[in-house]
Amino acid sequence: MFELKIRADVLREVVELTSCIVEEIKLSIKKEGLYVRAVDPSHVAMIEMKLSKNAFEEYKATDQDIGMDLGKLRDLLKLVRPEEMVSWRSDEKKNKIILEIGNLRRSMSPVDLGGMTDPKVPDLTLPGKVTVDINEIRKGIRAAESISDHIAFLMTQADFKMEAEGDTEKMELVLTKENGITEITSPGTLRSLYPLDYLTTMFKAINAPTVTIHLANDYPTRIEFQVAGGAGEGAFLLAPRIENV
């Protein structure tokens, strides 16, 4: 059983973030909040997210897992204003999920959980860490999109760089504590290359003023961010592209 009430813009944020990875998701609804963990079909990217019950206007739930079609949720949320409340509950007798927004009511069947796995978060040692203005990261991504299909993250003790190189062009964005970085820690120079299409989608979905990026040489990156204005937290993991030597 669960009976939840949440602002439409908060639910939309959760849907957009998870849609970066999969189209069907297993939501773990616990007494203390909602949890998500999923890997994309190519096993290149992963998301994990926790949304505390403080993100909800009303929250009554027993521990359970439900499968949701994110496309159907996304279509429904296009019809409502950000400030509207979404009432979201289970009808266990009919095996339905009921969503109500004002005078609009939608009943849908949960997605079968049989084919959904519980991915484990890899135990990574990522010595580099930088907290940075998300708009600066978006700027670097946009600048790289016309040059290459991948982008390099580089970190030193003093700065964080984004680089992209094509056949005839090269882009470099340098960030320091004077222009976008809040905090940075690195044992030395670190560098890793990542697919640009994943990063474009991820950073479009993140709705937070800053992100924290964890880095190592030719390792996955972990990108951490707040959700629902601080009432939740999320992280993307993205596998590197290994360069041919």
Contact predicate 159/202, CB 8 Å: no
- Classify residue 243: in a domain, yes or no: no
My answer on whether 137 and 103 are in the same domain is no
First to last CA, the chain: 55
- Provide CB contacts within 8 A for 146, sequence distance 6+: 169
Report yes or no: 220 and 35 within 8 Å, Cβ to Cβ: no
Per residue, the 3-state secondary structure of 183-222, as one string, reads: EEECCCCEEEEEEHHHHHHHHHHCCCCEEEEEECCCCCEE
pLDDT score recorded for residue 93: 86
What's the pLDDT at 244?
58
Structural domains of the chain, count:
2
pLDDT per residue as tens digits for the range 91-128? 888 899 999 998 999 999 999 988 787 888 888 999 99
> Is 114 domain-assigned?
no
On whether both 103 and 138 belong to a single domain, the answer is: no
202: tokens are 């991820």
Contacting residues for 171 by C-beta, under 8 A, at least 6 apart: 140, 143, 144, 147, 162, 163, 164, 165
Q: Distance (Å, rounded) from C-alpha 109 to C-alpha 63?
A: 19
**Which one of 78, 108, 138 terminates a domain?**
108
Domain of 72: which CATH number? Answer: 3.10.150.10
pLDDT reading at 243 higher than 70 = no
Identify whether residues 104 and 153 lie together within a single domain: no
CATH number at residue 213: 3.70.10.10
- Is there a single domain that holds both residue 144 and residue 99? no
Do residues 76 and 133 both lie within one domain? no
Query: Which residues form the domain of 133?
Result: 128-238
135-156: per-residue pLDDT in tens?
999 999 999 999 999 999 999 9
Rounded to whole angstroms, the Cα distance separating 26 from 147 reads 37
pLDDT, tens digit (0-9, with 9 covering 90-100), for 74-91: 999 999 999 999 999 998
> Does 244 fall in a domain?
no
Do 168 and 217 belong together in one domain? yes
Mean pLDDT of the chain: 94
Are 25 and 98 part of one and the same domain?
yes
High-pLDDT (> 70) share of the chain, %: 99
Q: Are residues 103 and 189 in the same domain?
A: no
By mean pLDDT, which of 9-18, 115-124, 165-174 is the weakest? 115-124
Higher-confidence position of 183 and 123: 183
- Give 206's pLDDT tier (boundaries 50, 70, 90): very high
Q: What is the mean pLDDT of residues 36-48?
A: 94
Same domain (yes/no): 103, 14: yes
**Amino acid letter at 66?**
I
Statement to judge: residues 8 and 103 lie in one domain: yes
Do 9 and 85 share a structural domain? yes
